[in-house]
């Protein structure tokens, strides 16, 4: 992690970044948040703090998504905002990933529940979370949530392929048969698909942003064009007054902002964590949940650029997740569950 931080700093030192992007201020915020929740600093006190913070955020996320569902179903005007359905969040593009995280959490809680009543409640909230994820219209969040769910069940039923296939087929069948109940919530996502088909490009909403990030990477492939910045000659997607940017992809933002140096360091870290969670047999259900969350972020970060944005809620959850996986990988939690409903 120290090397990743240094690569971010080098990208600032070796580039002339416009002052309105506030690279040093944003880098300082990045370090502070990373130190508190990420794998940058190791201490027993911080590890316990990260453990309970992840648990708290997970519970609050599920609660907010559930309330959002009932608010949207009731037709409350406050639940409509930027991008359509927003629920208790500030944008539909935030509601989508939060609903996907809620779905994964509920699947985990249902699978670890010791009573059938609790299992039914969590599965019901999980179904609600899925519907809300669809209603938000975020294709990347929906896909990432489904991939995370596939990994979760694969990990839980590792070595039991036939049972894994039966579970997936059962869930798929339930989803298809219940389609009339939630088909009305697909309008936004179907609208996006229709627009993409009309434009002849399924990635039409991201094409311009991704092209700009690739061009920036080509200009400075080793250490990037600068932390928390974009090339103003290549894209209009930035705010001069506040320095906000819209990268369009976390993976491409890593390549463009801090170059191959920083990209490979983070990619290696995530690969190491994925390998550990896949192989872990000590507490496979907890590692299944953390792995499902990690796979969610791996997919979702392809379409959303928050990995270096310290002011983003998704940034906080992503690095908090990595901080907990680091904690877990050192066997510091060998006697307690990482995220367990109690």
Beta strands in the chain (DSSP E): 80-81, 84-85
Element (H, E) at 37: helix 23-37
pLDDT (mean) for 305-314: 93
pLDDT of residue 227: 96
pLDDT at 340 over 60: no
Tens digits of residue pLDDT in 242-255 = 888 989 999 999 99
pLDDT surpasses 60 at 7:
yes
Per-residue confidence (pLDDT) for residue 336, from 0 to 100: 45
Contact (CB, 8 A) for 296 and 96: no
> pTM value?
0.93
Which of 80-84, 127-131, 138-142, 144-148 is the least confident region? 80-84
Determine the average pLDDT of the residues in 12-29. 94
d(CA 69, CA 248): 27
**Segment holding 220, helix H or strand E:** none
Q: What is the mean pLDDT of residues 93-108?
A: 95
pLDDT at 134: 93
Mean pLDDT of 310-317: 93
For position 196, what pLDDT does the model report? Answer: 65
What's the chain's Rg over C-alpha atoms? 20
Distance from C-alpha of 156 to C-alpha of 164, rounded to nearest angstrom? 8
Higher per-residue pLDDT: 14 or 338: 14
Q: Token match 């039409």: residue?
A: 204
217-226 pLDDT, tens per residue? 999 999 999 9
Mean pLDDT of the chain: 89
Mean pLDDT of the region 295-306? 96
Residue 202 above 70 pLDDT? no
**What pLDDT does residue 335 have?**
47
Q: Domain ranges for the chain, please list them.
A: 2-329
Question: How large is the average pLDDT for residues 285-308?
Answer: 95
Residue closest to 248 by CA, chosen among 203, 200, 293: 203
The pLDDT confidence band at residue 273, using thresholds 50, 70 and 90, is very high
d(CA 8, CA 307): 12
* pLDDT of the residue at 205: 66
Which residues on neighbouring strands pair with residue 80, listed in sequence order? 85
Say if residue 333's pLDDT is above 80: no
Collapse the DSSP code of 13 into the 3-class scheme (helix H, G, I; strand E, B; otherwise coil) and give the result.
helix
Phi, psi of 245 (to 5 degrees): -130, 165
């Amino acid at each position: 992690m120290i090397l990743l931080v240094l690569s971010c700093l080098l990208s600032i030192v070796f580039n002339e970044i416009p002052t309105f992007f506030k690279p040093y201020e944003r880098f300082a915020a990045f370090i502070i948040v990373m130190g508190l929740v990420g794998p940058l600093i190791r201490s027993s006190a911080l590890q316990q703090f990260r453990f309970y913070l992840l648990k708290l955020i997970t519970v609050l996320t599920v609660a907010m998504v559930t309330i959002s569902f009932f608010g949207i179903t009731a037709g409350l005007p406050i639940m409509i905002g930027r991008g359509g359905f927003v629920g208790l969040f500030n944008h539909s593009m935030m509601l989508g990933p939060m609903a996907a995280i809620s779905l994964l959490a509920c699947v985990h809680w249902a699978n670890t529940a010791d009573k059938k009543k609790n299992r039914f409640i969590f599965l019901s909230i999980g179904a609600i979370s899925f519907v809300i994820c669809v209603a938000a219209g975020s294709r990347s969040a929906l896909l990432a949530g489904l991939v995370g769910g596939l990994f979760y069940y694969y990990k839980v039923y590792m070595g039991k392929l036939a049972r894994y296939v039966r579970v997936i087929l059962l869930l798929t069948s339930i989803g298809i048969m219940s389609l009339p109940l939630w088909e009305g919530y697909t309008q936004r996502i179907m609208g996006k698909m229709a627009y993409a088909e009309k434009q002849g490009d399924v990635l039409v909403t991201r094409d311009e942003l991704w092209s700009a990030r690739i061009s920036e990477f080509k200009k400075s492939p080793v250490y990037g064009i600068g932390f928390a910045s974009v090339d103003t000659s290549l894209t209009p997607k930035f705010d001069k007054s506040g320095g906000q940017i819209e990268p369009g992809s976390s993976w491409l933002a890593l390549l463009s902002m801090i170059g191959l140096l920083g990209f490979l360091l983070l990619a290696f870290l995530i690969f190491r964590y994925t390998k550990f969670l896949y192989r872990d047999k000590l507490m496979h259900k907890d590692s299944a949940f953390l792995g499902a969350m990690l796979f969610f972020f791996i997919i979702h970060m392809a379409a959303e650029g928050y990995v270096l944005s310290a002011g983003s809620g998704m940034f906080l959850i992503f690095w908090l997740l990595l901080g907990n996986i680091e904690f877990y990988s050192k066997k510091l939690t060998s006697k307690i569950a990482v995220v367990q409903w109690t």
